[in-house]
Amino acid sequence: MIPIEFYLVLSAFMFITGVVGVLTRKNAIIVFMSIELMLNAANLSFVTFSSFLGNNIGQLFVFFVMTVAAAESAVGLAIIIALFRNKLTINIDEINILKW
Amino acid sequence: MITLQIILFSIFALIAIVSSVLVVTRKNPIISALFLVLNFAALAGIYLLLNAQFIAVVQVIVYAGAIMVLFLFVIMLLRPEHEKNFFEENPKMKWLALTVGGVVFFQLIYTIFFGKLSSAMHQNAEKSVQIGTVESIGRGLFTTYLIPFEAAGFLLLAAAIGALVLAKKHFD
């Protein structure tokens, strides 16, 4: 029997890795992958609590999170392609036309 | 006492931790994407340990299958850019990010361990096997949560159209 803390610590660690990735990386695609990492960490917490509480609502919510993640990655990657067409770079430090 | 469950959990958790760190620290985005696939596969294993069969299968099909293929496809469409090593460029910012991450991580750890969760919750194996099945999830999706389910379908349609419009060659 594995205590619930193990799953939650794994989830927290993955979330923090995603946060550090978003804050430090310059490549827009890797920033995107870090966001997927954070979504997955949240999913792991949902499934853990769902399983430990004996209630399937957590797993239903994970289903919806996955739907939104798929939609988000399709639109986000399309935006990255459009950016690359216009600026010939996906370095987020060089994409600053909205900077005030 | 070391059971098979604990051994499997250790293996999957180790793979997930190492691969998530490698996703963030590798220079080449293709290598990052492949480690992310490994991370998703390890997570699917952990979902199986939690008796969430449906979510484990969907994780492999949707995340490791569909989303990551999209990522790899886009990475290969773009020109590779040379990023510097993790700590070479703007090290101040990276230390700041690591500090923020560390502080939040210890807050989470503190909450997890001092919330006395273990005493309140025990995994009920029989019940969690019943709720993780396709039948249980499908029953929820098509009865109580029918409207969110239809809304999710509409969201996917809108995202597909939006992606097509955004990736078109010329904006009108």
Contact B38, B20 (CB under 8 A): no
Contact B69, B23 (CB under 8 A): no
pLDDT at B171: 55
Which residues of B fall within a CB distance of 8 Å from A77?
70-71, 74, 163
B1-83: CATH topology is Four Helix Bundle (Hemerythrin (Met), subunit A) (1.20.120)
**Contact (CB<8Å) A48/B36:** no
**Contact (CB<8Å) A34/B46:** no
* Of B70, B113, B140, Cβ closest to residue A73: B70
Q: Assess if residue A56 is contained within a domain.
A: yes
Q: Which of A15, A16, A39, A85 to mutate to test the interface with B (most CBs of B within 10 A)?
A: A16
Q: Domain tally for chain A?
A: 1
Q: How far is CA B20 from CA A12, A100, B14, B153, in A?
A: 12, 34, 10, 30
Given a cut of 80, whether residue B121 has pLDDT beyond it is no
What CATH number is associated with residue A19? 1.10.287.3510
Give mean pLDDT, residues B152-168.
92
Residue A35 to residue B155: CA distance in whole angstroms: 19
Q: How close does chain A come to B38, measured CA to CA in Å?
A: 12
Q: Assess if residue A92 is contained within a domain.
A: no
Residue B151 to residue A59: CA distance in whole angstroms: 17
Amino acid letter, A32: F
At residue B50, the 3 state secondary structure works out as coil
**What would the pLDDT profile of B42-93 be if each residue is shown by its tens digit?**
999 999 999 899 999 999 999 888 999 999 999 888 877 666 655 566 677 7
Determine the distance from the C-alpha atom of residue B134 to the mean position of all C-alpha atoms in its chain, rounded to a whole number.
20
How high is the mean pLDDT of chain B? Answer: 87
Task: Give counts: helices (H), strands (E), chain B.
Answer: 9, 0
**Contact (CB<8Å) A4/B118:** yes
Q: Assess if residue A93 is contained within a domain.
A: no
Q: Domain range spanning residue A13? A: 4-87
Q: Assess if residue A99 is contained within a domain.
A: no
The domain spans of chain B are 1-83
- Tokens of residue A35, six digits: 């966001």
Given a cut of 80, whether residue B26 has pLDDT beyond it is yes
- Tokens of residue B58, six digits: 């969907």
**What would the pLDDT profile of A21-34 be if each residue is shown by its tens digit?**
998 888 889 999 99
Give mean pLDDT, residues B12-41.
93
Residue B34 to residue A60: CA distance in whole angstroms: 27
Measured from the Cβ of residue A37, the count of other Cβ atoms closer than 10 Å reads 26
Could you give the ipTM of this predicted complex? 0.91
Which residues of A fall within a CB distance of 8 Å from B108?
8, 12, 15-16
Q: Assess if residue A52 is contained within a domain.
A: yes
Q: Assess if residue A97 is contained within a domain.
A: no
Q: Is the dihedral of CA B143, B144, B145, B147 positive or negative?
A: positive
